[in-house]
Chain A
C-alpha cells in the first residue's frame, strides 16, 4: 500500500541574474530617499570628514545634505548662473565650485558667502578641485584651458592650453601635490605636472571624456566617455588596460567602492553598473528612473547617491542588521518553546520506543485530489493567493486534473463569480509560454462548456472579450517573430561558409551537410 503521491509542481528555472554575494551585498539597501532639486544634478561630492555630508550641485545651487537628512543642511545660492562641480577639500572645511559665468568660488562650509573668487577663465568652468597640499585649486574650463590657482591670494599659478576642446573632467593626485589629470571633449586625457611647462602624458580615449577616476594607489586611471569605460595603467606610461562597454549610452560618472574592490559607473542609459576590479566583469546592476549624471558612494558603502537629469536626487542607505534582530528574537522565543515542548525527552536505556508514524503533509488541493473532489481541488488551487503568487501551482493542478480525465467535470458547473475568476486567471497566464500548452486546452474546454450561457452575464462577457483581444495580439506577435526568424535564417545561411563534406565513393549521391546554427535553446 503506497502512500498518495502529491501533485508534481513543475519547477521552472529562475530567469534573470543569479544570486551571488555581490547581488546580496548591493541589494542590501533600503528603499531610496528621493529629493527633487531645481535642475539636473551635475555633481555629487562626499565630504571626507566625519558626518560625511554630500555636496550636491544642481542648477544654480549647491546643497549640503547630511548623511541621513532629507532636508539640506546648508545651501549655497550665490551663483549668478549654473554652478558646476562643488567639491570638498580633504579636511572638509572648504568647498570650491565652478560656474557658467566663468568665476570659480571658494566657500567655507560654515559660511554662506564666497571666501574667494577666482576670475580669469573666459568660459564656463566645469572642473574644480583642490590639490593635495590644500593650498591650490585646479580648474578646467570650456575655454580649453586648465589652470592652477593659489588660494590665499587668488593668483593664477599655471595655465595649460593644450586641450583643443572643452575640459569637462579632472582629478588631482592625492599623493603628489603637483600632479593632476584632465579629460576633455577632444578625446584625450592629459597628465600634468605643475613643475613642468607641458603635459607629461597624453592618452587617447577615443570619445569625449566625461569622467575621470584615480585608484587610491594612483597606479590606475579610469576614464569614461561615450559608451566606454577605460582603465589606463599610469605606471606603464598610460597603457590602456581594459576597455569596458557595458552601457548603451554615454557613461557620465564613475565611483569606486570603499574597499576598492568594485567600480561603479553611471550612465545616461539609466543604469549603474558595478564591476569587479579584479576581472572587470559586471557583478551587479542598478536601474534608475532617469538618465544618471552623477554618482557617489558614502564611506563604507553606507549609501549610494545618484543624481539624475530630471533633478531627482536618489539616496539609498544600507540596511542596518541590528534593526531587525531584536524584533525577530522577541517573537520567536515563546513559539520555539511551544514546539519543543515534550519532544526533547531523551529515551533512557531500557525505554521501549514507540515511533509514531510520520504523517504525510499534503497541500490543500492534494487533499481534495486524494478524495477525488475535483471541483474543490480546482477551487483551492484558484484561491487568490495561489493564483497570483504561484500560478505554476494552479497550472499543475489543472494539468493533473487533465491527466485524470476529470478536468471537464472540474470546470463545469461554476457560477458567474467562479467563472470570471477562472477566466481572469486565463487572461493573466494564457500567453505565458510555460503554461500555454495546458491553459489553451483549458480555455477550449471552458468555451465548449459555457458557450450556451455566453451573453447572459456582462462580467463573463467582458472577460471573454479580453481573452479574445489577448489571443489576437499574441497571434500578431507570433507572426512577427516568425518573420524575424526567417530573416535571421537567411542571414545565417548567407554568412556561414559552405563546407564540403568528404563523401566516400559509395555515398557519392549525398549532398552537402547542413549544420544547424546553434541558436536553438535547450528545451529545459
Chain B
C-alpha cells in the first residue's frame, strides 16, 4: 500500500443553490442563498458571486435577514449552529450554538432578539418536527451558547415554505398535510382548519405552502392539485372563509406576496410565474418558459425585483414581472447523470447532461456554468409523468472539433426513439453547431460510443455499439463533388459489424487509432478500422466485460478490461495473451489522457476504493480505501492548466491532470494534493490581517507597502527595481477591492499605481527609453511636489525614490542634449538615404 497522507478528497463546487429560498438584501443589490456548507452572496446586477460565507460544518438549511439590522444575516445549518454574518464584507459576527440539527429558520420584526427554528422533536423520532423560539443573549463573545428554548408549535413540517409569519409577527401560520394552524402570539391561542384529503374531482387537497398577507388578515395556501386558497376570518373557529383560485395544473410550488400586498405570485412545475391581483383574482399576468419548475419565489423589499429559484439549480432575477434580468445558474445535477463526465478540449469545461435535453458546460476552475447546449431542440413540456428526450451519451473528439450526442426517449412500452447528432465546433461563435442528425441509428439502446483519437489522421470516425447486437462506424463523408451550393460534409454509416449475434457492451480505440476493441459479452474483438478486418479475439471467461480501455503512451500495447464478476484483466496486444488479471469489482475504469495512468474505482462493501496504476507496473501508484460511500459511476481526468511540480511519489499522478468524480449523491469531488492546498493557503494568507494594526482597508493597503519596503531595504537598488511587478499586482488587487471612500486621494495613488505597472530599466539600456522614463519620473516629481504640502504617510513612495536614484545621472539639460542629438542623427540618416 502506498501512503496517501497528502492526498485528500475534497468537495469542489457544483453544490445546490436552489435548496432553500434565497434572500434579497434591502437595497436589492445582493442575493444570498444557501449552497452546500456555505452561504453565497451574489450581486443581483452582475450575477457574480461576491462572497462565500464559510464557517458551517454541515448543510446550510436557511438564510434570513436580521430584522433589526438589514446588513446582517442569520444562517442555520444541520451542524446545530446559527451564525450571524455581515454579508457586505463577508465577516462572521457571531455563532449561536443550539446543539440540535436545525431544518429552517424564521425571524420576525415584532420579536426582537428571538429567532424561530425548526428542529426535530426528539432525537429518536426524526419524523416529527417542532417550531421553537430561541432567545439570543446579547454578549460580546464570538461563540454564544443559546439554550433558552420555548416551543411555539409542536407539530410542523421541516419545509420552510410551510410556515409564515403574518402582519409582521402577530400570528404564525403553519400547514401540514391537510391542516392549517394559525397561532396568535398575543392571545397565545391557535386555531386549526382542516380540509378533506380528496375533493370531489379527485384533486389532492394537501397543503404545499403558505404565505401571509403583509398588511391584511389573509393567508394564502397552495395545494397539491394546483389550487390556491385565500383564507380570511381565521381568528375564530367556525366562521372562517376561504376563496379558491385555480390556474396551475400541477402542485403549487411556491407563493409570495409583494411587499405592499397588491399582488400574489405563484409558481409550480409549469415553470410559469403567475401574478395574481389581490382582490381581483380574475386578473393575472404570466411570465412563461422560465426553464424549469419553480421551487421558491422571493420579492425584494422594495418590490422591484422578483427572484425565482428553479429545480434545475438556477436562480432567475426578474425585474417587475416582465423581464428576466439575470440568471444565476449552478451545476445542474438532477436525478442522475446519464452521460459520462467529459472535458471539452476547447473550453476545458466539464461536460455532462444538465437540464432536460441539454448538455452543460461547467467550468471547473471558476466553479461556474459556462453555457447549456440545447441538444434536443424541442419545446420542453413541463408536465409530470411525461417521457421526455434525454441526452444519454456524448463524446468529443480529442481536438474538440466534433461532438456526438445520443438522445433517447422511451415511451411506455412502445419502441425507443433514438437520435444520434453530430455537432461541429464553430470558431466564430465558439460553440457547437448541428451538422448531422441520424434518427434511429440503431434498433436498440446505444451502450457505448467513442471517437477515433488519432491526431494526425484525415478522417474522423465514430463507433457506436448497441444492444441490437451491432456496432456501427460512422464517418464524415466529404461533400459531394457536384456543384451543389451550401452542401457541406455530413456523417454517414461506414461499417456495420457484429460478432456471433452477441451484444456489444463497450468499445475503445487505441491511442493511435489503428485498432478498435469492441467487447461482446465475454469476448473482446479487435478490429482494424482501416480495412474492417477482425484481427483477433481475446477472452477471459467467465464474466461479461463492462469496461474496456487501451493503455497510453508507453503502455499502448496493453488493453484493459473489467468484467462484471469482479475481474480486471490486462492483455498484451503484441502477444495476444493475458498479461495479468486481478480480482477487483471495478465499477469504472478511466484513462488519463496525458499519462499512462489508469484509475479504477472499485465498489466493495458499500464504499468505493480508488486504485491508480500503470498497466506495466505491478504496484499501484496510489490507492485509497473508502473514497466515498456508494458506487462511483462517473469520473473524469481534467487536464490541469499548469503542471504541478510535486515530487511526492503518491501524488505524482495528479501532476498533469486532476481526477473529478461524482458520488451517488451527486456531489462533485476531487483529489487535492498538499502542494495545491499550500498554494491555496498562501494565496488566502495574503489577505490575512495582522492583529497589531487596526483592521481598516486603508491601513491594510499602506501597511502592506511598508512591509515590502522593509524587505527591500537591505537589498540592492537593482533587485528592488526588478521585483515590483508581482507585488504590484497584489497591490492592484487590494486597490480594486477596497471601497473608494476609504482610499487615499487618487493623485497620491496614481503614482504608486503607475509605478507598480512599470518594468524597471537600468542605465545600460537605450537612451531614448531613458528619456521616456525620465519624463515619467518628472511627472511623479511634480506630483510629489504638489502633494508635499499634504500629510502623506512617510515611506509611501520610497520606491519612487529608488527610481530617482537610478535615473539621477541624467539631468534635464542632458536630456535636451540627447534629444537634439537624436534629431540631428535622423536628419543625417535621411540625407544618406536620399543620396
- What is the interface of chain A, defined by CB distance below 8 A to chain B? 1-8, 10, 18-21, 369, 400, 402-405, 437, 441, 501-507, 509-511, 513-516, 518, 520-524
Contact = CB atoms under 8 A, between A and B. Distances in A.
A441 B291 CA distance: 30
Question: Which 6 residue pairs of A and B lie closest in terms of their CB atoms, listed nearest first?
Answer: A522-B493, A504-B576, A513-B534, A5-B379, A522-B492, A510-B537
A518 B495 contact: yes
Interface stretch (B147-155, B282-290, B785-793): B282-290
B538 interface: yes
A506 B440 contact: no
A521 B494 CA distance: 9
B578 A506 contact: yes
B438 A524 contact: yes
Contacts, number: 112
A441 B497 CA distance: 31
A522 B532 CA distance: 16
A146 to B, nearest CB: 45
Contacts of A514: 498-500
A95 B484 CA distance: 46
Interface in B357-389: 377-381, 383, 386-387, 389
B324 A1 contact: yes
7 contacts: A7-B379, A21-B483, A400-B378, A403-B378, A405-B381, A504-B537, A513-B537
Interface string B170-205: 000000000000000000000000000000000000
A507 B532 CA distance: 20
Nearest to B386: A405
B537 A503 contact: yes
Most buried by B among A1, A505, A511: A1
B523 A510 contact: yes
A509 B575 CA distance: 17
A8 B381 CA distance: 15
Contact of A507 (B383, B389, B439, B539): B539
A133 to B, nearest CB: 45
A505 B484 contact: no
A369 B483 contact: no
Nearest to B576: A504
Contacts of B380: 5
Given A523-B438, A523-B441, A510 B539 contact: yes
Given A504-B538, A509-B539, A523-B438, A20 B379 contact: no
A8 B536 CA distance: 44
Given A2-B289, A515-B534, A405 B383 contact: yes
Contact of B381 (A21, A404, A524): A404
A437 B439 CA distance: 12
Contacts of B411: 402
Contacts of A1: 287-291, 324
Contacts of B536: 501-504, 507
Contacts of A503: 536-537
Nearest to B534: A513
A509 B523 CA distance: 10
DSSP majority for the A interface?
loop
Range, interface on chain B: 35 or more
Where chain B touches its partner, the secondary structure class is loop
Interface in B596-612: none
A506 B377 CA distance: 49
A441 B414 contact: yes
B577 interface: yes
A8 B500 contact: no
B540 interface: yes
Nearest to A437: B415
Given A405-B386, A437-B415, A507-B538, A518 B438 contact: no
A297 to B, nearest CB: 24
Contacts of B438: 522-524
Nearest to A5: B379
Contact of B577 (A4, A18, A505): A505
Contacts of B381: 403-405
A524 B538 contact: no
Contact of A4 (B289, B377, B492, B540): B289
A369 B493 contact: no
B497 A516 contact: yes
A281 to B, nearest CB: 11
B415 A518 contact: no
A504 B483 CA distance: 50
A506 B493 contact: no
A8 B378 contact: yes
Contacts of A3: 289
Given A5-B377, A516-B497, A10 B439 contact: yes
B577 A504 contact: yes
Interface string B519-533: 000010100000010
A395 to B, nearest CB: 12
Contacts of A369: 379
B57 to A, nearest CB: 38
A282 to B, nearest CB: 14
B709 to A, nearest CB: 51
A381 to B, nearest CB: 15
A524 B492 contact: yes
B409 to A, nearest CB: 7
Contact of A511 (B287, B379, B387, B500): B500
A515 B287 contact: no
Nearest to A524: B438
Which one of A404, A503, A524 has the highest number of Cβ atoms from chain B below 10 Å of its Cβ? A524
A112 to B, nearest CB: 51
A335 to B, nearest CB: 26
A513 B440 CA distance: 27
Contact of A19 (B386, B415, B484): B484
B483 A5 contact: no
A3 B439 CA distance: 25
A404 B484 CA distance: 38
A336 to B, nearest CB: 24
Contacts of A400: 378
Contacts of A520: 493, 496
A183 B763 CA distance: 100
A503 B496 CA distance: 22
Contacts of A522: 438, 492-493
A518 B496 contact: yes
Contacts of B379: 4-7, 369
